[in-house]
Amino acid sequence: MTENDTPARTDAPLAANAGYRRPVVAIIGGGVSGAGVAYHLALGLAETPPAIIVFEPRREIGRGLAYDTLDPAHRINVPAARMSLLPDHPEDFLEWIERNDAVADDPAAHRPDGSLFPQRHLFGAYVAAALLPFVQSGAVRHRRALVTGVTRDGRLWRISDSQGGQTFADFLVVSTSHPSPLTPRNLAVLEDHPRFVADSTVPASLDVIGKDDRLLIVGNGLTAADIVASLARNGHRGPITSISRRGLRSRGHAPFPQDPFGEFEEAPAHSATLLLRKIRQTIADASNAGLTWHAVIDQVRGHGHAIWQNLPVSERQRLVRHLRPFWDVHRFRIAPQVEDVLNEAVDDGRMEVLAASVGQVRLEGDTIHVSLRRRHAAPVDRTFDAVVVTTGPAHGGILDSQPWLTSLRDSGHLQLDPTGLGIACNERSEALADGTSADPSLLIAGPLARGTFGELMGLPQITEHAAFVAGELAAKVKAVSRVRSSS
């Protein structure tokens, strides 16, 4: 049930007692972050609910980019037992799976160590199912439209959308997280090539790749791994070259279940160098205790907010500049089923992983000649039939990715975080309007708030943050309601 047939203007008085207008919370982006905020807000203010409107063009709210996929090769990359919409109840998704017998037709989801790595769409189904009662009751309204414009109108936000709607809201939440990747400059020449995939997250974009095509994948992270797994499933047998600047591949999961190990919260490091030293020392201690690095990185993730808070901005920038590639491959672990496919392709000699960047690109008909600039080695030339870009969402370009975001920046309401990881906000997740002053009516939810909150990409942190933003909003909504009902 969506709002598509409802009148476009949603600023009419919403409560029975004329004169009182329920506060309106507009959430732009209904992936897990936006859906999570709506869910926790509706749950927390069940007695005196605001009008909660989620703008999301996808069929259901709760899926977003990651979980709106039917490709069976796409699996969650952390065990189901650690993915939940409820921060206080980490096993909620697992229990939902059991209640619905949801992996009955997918024996490969079960790992020998007892953990479960289901297909990704299942997590989307779980979040959408959690939201459904709220959507059906009208507590959360799904406006199936793209937001095209946002302006200030007195004390309200005026939101225009692709269905011709105008919505006025007291509070605005930006949770549009992942923009498309940027095409590396040297690949711009391929723009019109029939087998150039600039954004592999566009549904069916890989269909243009033939079974015997020689393929270049630019980027080596989890999306690249997904692509190799999807193509293998569809019978691709051509050679694959996968490149990234350092040639690092996402690491696999721990060989056995372990609790997080180490302490990073109580005496947090104040510089990138000290933090790195502490992590290395803790990994050595973990090893002496019979554990692996996984337990330490899990603890760093869990303590990520405290660690980040205690680092000056210049040290945060150093971390992002120098350590991010290493952090990403240890922290974003590959699903074991996908790792098996990748290992097989490498072992069979069908896939090479190079530390390289794209040099000169030359077209001969549809054949693509690429000079690969290798790190600490001579360049090599390779010939390809298809190229896919998987360099990851261009978060640093978020404010240029959609006209309404650009206009909010140009009108002084939004600005890029100094680390380049997303949108600047304070510790209450309120957007920092012009340098330092925060706008209490404009909140940032999800990975776009990473510059302030640190680690905020994996599900556990995403749902914690969504619940936090919902709590902040609940307090604001109550304050506005009090003022309105007494005037």
Ligand X SMILES: Cc1cc2nc3c(=O)[nH]c(=O)nc-3n(C[C@H](O)[C@H](O)[C@H](O)COP(=O)(O)OP(=O)(O)OC[C@H]3O[C@@H](n4cnc5c(N)ncnc54)[C@H](O)[C@@H]3O)c2cc1C
Q: State the minimum distance, in angstroms, from the CB of residue 405 to ligand X.
A: 8
For ligand X, the closer CB: 320 or 361 = 320
Long-range contacts of 399-408 (CB under 8 A, 24+ apart): 399/423, 401/179, 401/180, 402/147, 402/176, 402/179, 403/148, 403/149, 404/147, 404/148, 404/149, 404/150, 405/174, 405/176, 407/149, 407/150, 407/151, 408/150
Residues near ligand X (CB under 6 A): 28-34, 55-58, 64-66, 76-78, 83, 146-147, 175-178, 223, 402, 446-447, 457-459, 462
For ligand X, the closer CB: 164 or 435 = 164
Q: State the minimum distance, in angstroms, from the CB of residue 314 to ligand X.
A: 26
Question: Is residue 95 within 8 Å of residue 472, measured between CB atoms?
Answer: no
Residue of 409, 407, 432, 416 whose CA lies nearest to 148: 407
Q: State the minimum distance, in angstroms, from the CB of residue 98 to ligand X.
A: 19
For ligand X, the closer CB: 23 or 393 = 393
For residue 228, the SS3 value is helix
For ligand X, the closer CB: 58 or 476 = 58
Compute the distance between CA of residue 291 and CA of residue 297 in angstroms, rounded to an integer: 12
Residue of 146, 193, 197, 185 whose CA lies nearest to 167: 146
β-strand partners of 354: 243
The first and second tokens of residue 348, run together, are: 């069979």
Residue type, 257: P
For ligand X, the closer CB: 239 or 451 = 451
Q: State the minimum distance, in angstroms, from the CB of residue 95 to ligand X.
A: 18
Residue of 177, 176, 178, 172 whose CA lies nearest to 443: 172
For ligand X, the closer CB: 116 or 272 = 116
Mention every residue, 6+ apart, whose C-beta is less than 8 A from residue 355. 243, 244, 245, 246, 247, 248, 374, 375, 376
Question: Is residue 363 within 8 Å of residue 192, measured between CB atoms?
Answer: no
Q: State the minimum distance, in angstroms, from the CB of residue 427 to ligand X.
A: 19
Q: State the minimum distance, in angstroms, from the CB of residue 213 to ligand X.
A: 22
Q: State the minimum distance, in angstroms, from the CB of residue 230 to ligand X.
A: 12
For residue 281, the SS3 value is helix
Compute the distance between CA of residue 50 and CA of residue 46 in angstroms, rounded to an integer: 9
For ligand X, the closer CB: 121 or 193 = 121
Q: State the minimum distance, in angstroms, from the CB of residue 459 to ligand X.
A: 3
CA distances 421 to 31, 411, 457, Å, are 18, 21, 11
Residue of 426, 466, 428, 445 whose CA lies nearest to 88: 466
Question: Is residue 464 within 8 Å of residue 455, measured between CB atoms?
Answer: no
For ligand X, the closer CB: 122 or 368 = 122
Q: State the minimum distance, in angstroms, from the CB of residue 223 to ligand X.
A: 6
For ligand X, the closer CB: 1 or 46 = 1
